[in-house]
Amino acid sequence: MANALGSVHRGKIDAALLGELRAFARMFQRVLRDWSEDTTRWPQRRTKALFEQWCEVKIYPVVFDCSTQALQYSET
């Protein structure tokens, strides 16, 4: 089975790793779509190493609420 990180050996993949692979693939696709909507220009092998070569990821502890609706709070 192939995925965004290259080839994966057939076998069991835990749910957390599978979720991480899917999230990484979606993020890479968003970056590529911002770069070019012509998917034929996208690299065929979208590996994590290539992503890290092309992109700089920064994580900020800030959230912007752009909604026009009032905030709702939960007890959870």
Res 1 pLDDT > 80: no
* Residue 48 amino acid letter: K
- Supply angle C-alpha 48, 50, 55, rounded to 5: 90
The band of 4, judged by pLDDT with boundaries at 50, 70 and 90, is very low
28-76 pLDDT per residue, tens = 999 999 999 999 999 999 888 888 898 887 887 877 778 888 877 777 6
**Does the predicted TM-score (pTM) go above 0.75?**
no
Instruction: Let me know if 4 is exposed, middle or buried by CB neighbors in 10 A (0-12, 13-18, 19+).
Output: buried
Contact status, residue 20 vs residue 4, Cβ threshold 8 Å? no
Domains of the chain, residue spans = 2-54
